[in-house]
Amino acid sequence: MGQSADAAATAAQTPDSNKGNNGHDKPLETLIIGSGPAGYTAAIYAARAGLKPVMYTGQEPGGQLMITTDVENYPGYPDGIMGPAMMDQFQKQAERFGTDVRYDLVEKVDFSGPVHKVWTAGGDEVHAHTVVVSTGASAKWLGLESEKRLANVGVSACAVCDGFFFKGQNVAVVGAGDTAAEEASYLAKLCPEVHMLVRRDEMRASKIMQDRVKKTPNIIIHWNTETEEVLGEKEVTGVRIKNNKTGETSEIAISGFFVAIGHKPNTDIFKGFLDMHDNGYLKAVPGTSKTNVEGVFVSGDAADQVYRQAVTAAGTGCMAALDAERYLAAKEII
């Protein structure tokens, strides 16, 4: 049953009306922003500690692992597991202990008072004593006009999501890190030729990934190569590349152009409240998940530009929930 008309009117007039708090005026004990391994691990620990966590999933529920194939380095899965299947299990485990998972995006925060406030795209305003920030990171783009214009009609940042559309066609992958190597290997199973565009004369990817790429006969590595333009009007037809040692330009006919050049932390909404490095990664007090704001904790890739692994994200999610619980206990809120 809904609330009475009088009660609804009163709630609407309350200046601090706290719609997302399930109709209660009391702030939440713990709010979690983001739904990757960090967020879900924080949720599991917080829920089992009785903190009744609410999680806002963000725009990409499940985070970066939703666009990954086999995860072979997460302990406990000796045969590997697909990224989306793993995130499904994370979610089920968090919900089993009572996490309230909401498919909505936090767009604005105010961490200036003793109680933290957030606003969502869906219209929620939520107040919480503690917030766990686990907003992760997103793919970077080259910044070419042609890349933007041809996005989703041949330009992609996710081979696992879009590779299938280019089955039997030639593609290119930009980048030379583990992501680029992983994407090239994945695409090599679908496409006759995968052109890997590497801007230096060596790759950043781990040795095992490099070896895999170099041993795959249909991956053609173009060293010292930069992308000048993605070609095509309504769909990708090719790419113009430039050798940065010789200055020579050439074109390759491709149908798919995959960008795999790293990530940017999703921390813009915290500017002005949370201390961050110049590149946007959040700062935590070393050895803890504490930020510069009392009651706000950070976990996962949003504060990790070094390790960026699912298992390290999960570990810091655990730390954030434990730090939140201890903070609430010290303040005698629980």
Binder of ligand NDP out of 179, 185, 267, 289 (CB under 6 A)? 179
β-pairing, 263-265 with 296-298?
unpaired
Which parts of 224-263 interact with ligand NDP (CB under 6 A)?
A: 261-263
175 makes contact with ligand NDP (CB under 6 A): yes
Residue with smaller CB distance to ligand NDP, 262 or 280: 262
For 116, 187, 225, the CA distances from 112, given in Å and listed in that order, are: 7, 47, 47
199 makes contact with ligand NDP (CB under 6 A): yes
The token pair at 165 is: 């559309």
174 makes contact with ligand NDP (CB under 6 A): yes
The token pair at 222 is: 């173009």
Active site residue 158: yes
Cα-Cα end-to-end distance for the chain: 30
Question: What is the smallest separation between the CB atom of 178 and ligand NDP, expressed in angstroms?
Answer: 4
Question: What is the smallest separation between the CB atom of 206 and ligand NDP, expressed in angstroms?
Answer: 6
Question: What is the smallest separation between the CB atom of 211 and ligand NDP, expressed in angstroms?
Answer: 14
DSSP state letter for 276: B
Residue with smaller CB distance to ligand NDP, 84 or 177: 177
Site string for ligand NDP, 291-320 (x = CB under 6 A): -----------------x------------
Active site residue 318: no
Task: Point out the catalytic residue in the list 162, 301, 304, 323.
Answer: 162
Question: What is the smallest separation between the CB atom of 263 and ligand NDP, expressed in angstroms?
Answer: 6
What residues have CB less than 8 Å from 330, skipping those under 6 apart? none
Question: What is the smallest separation between the CB atom of 322 and ligand NDP, expressed in angstroms?
Answer: 25
H or E segment to which residue 209 belongs: helix 207-215
Q: Rounded distance, CA 64 to CA 179, Å?
A: 11
Active site residue 162: yes
Question: What is the smallest separation between the CB atom of 209 and ligand NDP, expressed in angstroms?
Answer: 7
H or E segment to which residue 148 belongs: helix 145-149
* Residue number with the smallest Cβ distance to ligand NDP: 177
Task: Point out the catalytic residue in the list 70, 110, 124, 158.
Answer: 158
54 makes contact with ligand NDP (CB under 6 A): no
Give the angle subtended at the CA of 284 by the CAs of 62 and 29, to the nearest 5°.
Answer: 60
Binder of ligand NDP out of 60, 178, 193, 294 (CB under 6 A)? 178
200 makes contact with ligand NDP (CB under 6 A): yes
Q: Rounded distance, CA 208 to CA 122, Å?
A: 44
The token pair at 315 is: 């570990």
Residue with smaller CB distance to ligand NDP, 20 or 256: 256
Instruction: Report the chain's C-alpha Rg in angstroms.
Output: 23
Q: How many residues bind ligand NDP (CB under 6 A)?
A: 17
In this structure, what are the phi and psi dihedrals at residue 44, rounded to the nearest 5 degrees? -60, -45
What residues have CB less than 8 Å from 271, skipping those under 6 apart? none
The token pair at 75 is: 């302990």
Q: Could you list the residues that contact ligand NDP (CB under 6 A)?
A: 73, 142, 174-180, 182, 199-200, 204, 261-263, 308
